[in-house]
Amino acid sequence: MLKIEHLGIAVKNLEQSNMLFTKLFGKAPYKLETVASEHVSTSFFMMGDSKIELLEATNTDSPIAKFIEKKGEGIHHIAFEVSDIYAEMKRLKSEGFTLLSEEPKKGADNKLICFLHPKTSNGVLIELCQEIK
Ligand code: ZN
């Protein structure tokens, strides 16, 4: 894994949270994107070499809706950049981590992504991401 690519924060209302975090960071999000397959709307703030991603559920089937129902708003996942997501998924699987998908998916912000189940990583939901070139 190369670096922390972004932190994901689950929010109830993206529009309100965009205003809140714009005040907090002193800058606006550089991107708003809805990922239909994941049932989320997202926004991204550039923070130096890393990013903050805000995620709002677009319907009740969304993993974000389930997360907020269980735990409330807050930090949802940590995303790490990898150079070869297929190799990293294979490596982590062989190390005993549970992957949430067998193949990488197309995520927000032009990335191939895969999540690791928090049960095999001390309760932390981890996202691997590789930029699509
Ligand atoms: Zn993410």
Task: Write a three-state SS string for 3-18.
Answer: EEEEEEEECCCHHHHH
Identify the burial level of 50 via C-beta atoms within 10 angstroms of its C-beta, where 0-12 means exposed, 13-18 middle and 19 or more buried.
middle
**How far is ligand 1, taken at its centre, from the CA of residue 10, in Å?**
10
**DSSP annotation of 122:** T
Digit-coded pLDDT (tens) for 88-102: 999 999 999 999 999
pLDDT, mean of residues 47-67? 95
pLDDT given for residue 109 in this prediction: 87
**How far is ligand 1, taken at its centre, from the CA of residue 77, in Å?**
7
List phi, psi (to 5°) of 121. Answer: -140, 50
- Computed over every residue of the chain, the mean pLDDT equals 96
**How far is ligand 1, taken at its centre, from the CA of residue 125, in Å?**
10
pLDDT, mean of residues 66-92? 97
Q: By C-alpha distance, which of 61, 81, 64 is closest to 73? A: 64
**How far is ligand 1, taken at its centre, from the CA of residue 95, in Å?**
23
59: left (phi over 0), alpha (psi -120 to 50) or beta: beta
Asked if the model's pLDDT at residue 85 lies above 90, the reply is: yes
pLDDT, mean of residues 25-51? 95
**How far is ligand 1, taken at its centre, from the CA of residue 53, in Å?**
6
For the ranges 35-39, 46-50, 69-73, 80-84, the lowest mean pLDDT is seen at 35-39
Pairing between β-strand 74-81 and β-strand 31-35 as defined by DSSP bridges: unpaired
**How far is ligand 1, taken at its centre, from the CA of residue 67, in Å?**
14
